[in-house]
């Protein structure tokens, strides 16, 4: 992604996941906002943004973080919210194993409490080792935890699969973690 795309993606993550009020926006309860409203609010806050750039970010974003509605009028983040939004995700059966990339300094606490969602709506899990490694790497030398997702699901935990391929669940109790 080029510099404009990365900067716009960070801006959209901030206003569509965490702090829409920063630029005077309000998301609906499913996290959507009118594209025209977003463009107007961005412009009022001094941000250079237009429809073609927005569409490029949605299309080319490395993790497909955002979606435009089918009628082209609204936009939202696919996942990663700290705001309480209802993404209307249906619970689905996960693969037997999922992965979580983290760093060593969190391990004692994770051993005690399992994986917790912190400020986000869900714990984020990756479908493969490589993705988990990239997630962990954001914070330093990555450590990969293996999550027994199939067993969790059979024992009553719900899993969701976001439109951009991230697995989500409310928490992962430590008994479902394998330490590799």
Distance of CA 36 to the CA centre of its chain: 24
Q: Does the protein bind ligand HQG through residue 87 (CB under 6 A)?
A: no
Q: Does the protein bind ligand HQG through residue 18 (CB under 6 A)?
A: no
Q: Does the protein bind ligand HQG through residue 161 (CB under 6 A)?
A: no
Q: Which of 18, 47, 56, 120: binder of ligand HQG (CB under 6 A)?
A: 120
Specify the residue, 57 or 166, whose C-beta has the smaller distance to ligand HQG. 166
Number of residues that bind ligand HQG (CB under 6 A): 16
Specify the residue, 71 or 108, whose C-beta has the smaller distance to ligand HQG. 108
CB 107 within 8 Å of CB 150: no
For residues 175 and 41, give the distance between their C-alpha atoms in angstroms, rounded to a whole number. Answer: 46
For residues 137 and 150, give the distance between their C-alpha atoms in angstroms, rounded to a whole number. Answer: 26
For residues 54 and 8, give the distance between their C-alpha atoms in angstroms, rounded to a whole number. Answer: 8
Q: Which of 12, 15, 85, 102: binder of ligand HQG (CB under 6 A)?
A: 102
Q: Does the protein bind ligand HQG through residue 133 (CB under 6 A)?
A: no
Q: Which of 65, 74, 81, 161: binder of ligand HQG (CB under 6 A)?
A: 65
For residues 137 and 101, give the distance between their C-alpha atoms in angstroms, rounded to a whole number. Answer: 8
Q: Which of 87, 153, 166, 177: binder of ligand HQG (CB under 6 A)?
A: 166
- The distance of closest approach from Cβ of residue 134 to ligand HQG in the complex, given in angstroms and rounded to an integer, is 7
Q: Which of 16, 75, 85, 115: binder of ligand HQG (CB under 6 A)?
A: 115
- Map 71-140 to HEC letters: CCCEEEECCCCCCCCCCCCCCCCCCCCEEEEEEHHHHHHHHHHCECCCCCCCEEEECCHHHHHHHHHCCC
Where along the sequence are the contacts to ligand HQG (CB under 6 A)?
A: 63, 65, 80, 102, 106, 109-110, 113, 115-116, 118, 120, 124, 135, 139, 166
């Amino acid at each position: 992604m080029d510099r404009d795309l990365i900067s716009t993606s960070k801006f959209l993550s901030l206003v569509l996941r965490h702090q829409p009020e920063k630029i005077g926006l309000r998301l609906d309860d499913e996290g959507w906002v009118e594209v025209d409203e977003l463009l107007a609010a961005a412009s009022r806050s001094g941000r250079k943004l237009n429809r073609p750039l927005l569409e490029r970010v949605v299309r080319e974003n490395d993790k497909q973080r955002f979606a435009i509605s089918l009628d082209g009028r609204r936009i939202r983040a696919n996942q990663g919210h700290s705001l309480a939004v209802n993404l209307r995700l249906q619970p689905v059966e996960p693969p037997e194993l999922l992965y979580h990339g983290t760093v060593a300094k969190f391990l004692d606490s994770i051993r005690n409490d399992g994986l917790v969602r912190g400020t986000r709506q869900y714990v984020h899990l990756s479908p493969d080792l490589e993705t988990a490694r990239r997630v962990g790497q954001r914070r330093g030398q990555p450590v990969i935890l293996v999550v027994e997702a199939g067993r969790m699901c059979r024992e009553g935990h719900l899993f969701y699969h976001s439109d951009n391929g991230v697995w989500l669940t409310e928490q992962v109790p430590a008994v479902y973690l394998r330490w590799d």
